[in-house]
Amino acid sequence: MLLKEVIKGLDILDTKGSLDIEIDNIQYDSRKVGKNDLFICVKGFTVDGHKFIDMAIEKGAKAFLVQEDIQRDGVTFIKVKNTREDMAKVADNFYNHPSQRFDVIGVTGTNGKTSITTFLNEILTSADNKVGLIGTIKISDGDKEIESNSTTPESRDLQDYFDQMINNGCKYCAMEVSSHALALNRVAQTKYKVGVFTNLTPDHLDFHKDLEDYRNAKEKLFYMTTNANVINIDDEGGKVIYENIKNLDTKCYTYAIDHEADFMAKDIKIEARGVSYKLVTPTYEEDIFVPVPGKFTVYNTLAVIAACYALEISKEIVLNGLKNTGGVAGRFEAISNETGISVIVDYAHTPDALENVIKTAREFVKNRIITVFGCGGDRDTTKRPLMGNIAQKLSDICIVTSDNPRTEDPERIINDILEGLDKSKENYKVVIDRKEAIKEAIEIAQKGDVILIAGKGHENYQIIGKVKHHFDDKEIANEFLQNK
């Protein structure tokens, strides 16, 4: 593609060199630059791409998108105000506006994104469609899957994935949209057929200045949709977003349990084997069963049903897909064993999510709940005492341990958690080593107990310092259950 077509629509401050040159690829990572590429010099939080210009020239780059005054002979420089923001537009141009060529469903909110996108993927695939998936656990382009490194990829990579999905015959893409991606313009230029809002609870307040800023970032998604928005109005953040967007030209559907909404669940029954409820929609009522326990499953499936309604997927396909779902890896995932102890692994890493999963376990536990959890390092510290308080209050025993400490001292993280605990009670323990904490929980467990191992879910690693070490809660639990 000619460079002048790649940069079409940018607010250009200055150019040096020819724009009538052929560009073979675009990159923002200097390690991936090849011959005849456009290298986008992004000023990141820790690395400045402008420092790698000479390296990129040596590797064959012919053009550079910059936000500094730079000149080298034989290559072209295009200066803009903010290269990170403009990377989305450049990528959308280069890949021929892929999100406009198939149906993208974006899901945002603190909790539930992975479950909703997984359910959508299962349902839409069951209707004989190829479906792409972008999220916390994995990215699927319709033919192959790769492990995901972040909830939402950088804009250049995102548009590349969209293009691959279309080339592979995908009709839809179900994707998680993080607040970071919205705030940092990773999803700018993406056209969403349907947008879904799940809920808003304190999280990522190390990045967002407060809860309002966090909500405002999430709200951006609903001005990027072409067909419909789906909003949880039982959630306070959802109510605010609904009021702000309800008069847009885009159709807005609401879902709720406790408030009158377009999609509602009534006569809810929660059991160990799953949830059942009476679904009420704008045009039909139906009895629902989903083999995933928890009130959060009711909310997640209401969102899925509403999104599919907006996409005009038949109710038979939707309801059958939910009834036969295999669940989501690391989301209230039971570990099969013969000890009479229920062991559940869950990704819950926010106060709201931890409260939800413990309350779900309380619905069917026959004896005690033992919760093993920690909090991630180099992340929002305000939620640590809140999660400690929730774990102690709702569990019979809680074991406080490490999660992904990253560059923080694990003891410091645990001390923050302990600030939320009632020290006069003796229903908690501190076991810093996560493997030993899981071992301790299984050793003290009795028949009829539920052990909830929270925080990491699908993750098969632990980050200590800046190094990823293999660590899988499910594998560790299985190891000790076999010796129980």
In the block, which residue shows the tokens 């592979």? Answer: 168
Pairing mode, if any, of strands 397-400 and 369-373?
parallel
**Is 410 marked as a binding-site residue?**
no
Q: Is 72 annotated as a binding residue?
A: no
Kindly state the helix (H) or strand (E) to which residue 108 belongs, with its residue range. strand 103-108
- Dihedral angle over CA of 17, 20, 22, 23, nearest 10: 60
Provide the sign of the torsion angle of the four alpha carbons 13, 14, 19, 22, taken in this order. negative
Q: Letter for the amino acid at 116?
A: I
Taking every pair of Cα atoms in the chain, the longest distance, rounded to a whole number of angstroms, is 75
Q: Is 226 annotated as a binding residue?
A: no
455 a known binding residue?
yes
Residue 178 marked as a ligand binder: yes
Residue 459 is labelled as binding a ligand:
yes
CA-CA distance, 249 to 225, in Å (whole number)?
10
330 is in an annotated binding site: no
CA distance 250 to 226: 6
Give which of 439, 443, 434 is closest to 413, Cα–Cα. Answer: 434
Alpha helix ranges (H) inside 324-433: 351-362, 383-394, 410-418
Residue 63, CA distances (Å) to 44, 82, 201, 216 in order: 20, 16, 43, 35
Going by the DSSP 8-state scheme, the letter that residue 273 receives in this structure is T
Output the six-digit token pair for 300.
């997640």
Helix (H, G, I), strand (E, B) or coil at 32: helix
Q: Is 113 annotated as a binding residue?
A: yes
Q: Measured between alpha carbons, how far is 166 from 164 in angstroms, rounded to an integer?
A: 5
DSSP letter string over 113-129? HHHHHHHHHHHHHHTT-
* Residue 151 assigned ligand-binding role: yes
Q: Is 376 annotated as a binding residue?
A: no
Q: Is 112 annotated as a binding residue?
A: yes
Inter-residue contact 167 to 161 (CB < 8 Å) = no
N-terminal to C-terminal alpha carbon distance within the chain: 63
Token pair for residue 53?
Answer: 């210009």
Q: How far is CA 466 from CA 25, 377, 404, 463, in A?
A: 31, 11, 10, 6
Find the helix packing angle between 211-219 and 236-245, rounded to 10°: 50
Question: What residues are designated binding site for meso-2,6-diaminopimelate?
Answer: 379, 403-406, 455, 459
Question: What residues are designated binding site?
Answer: 30, 109-115, 151-152, 178, 186, 379, 403-406, 455, 459
Question: What residues are designated binding site for ATP?
Answer: 109-115
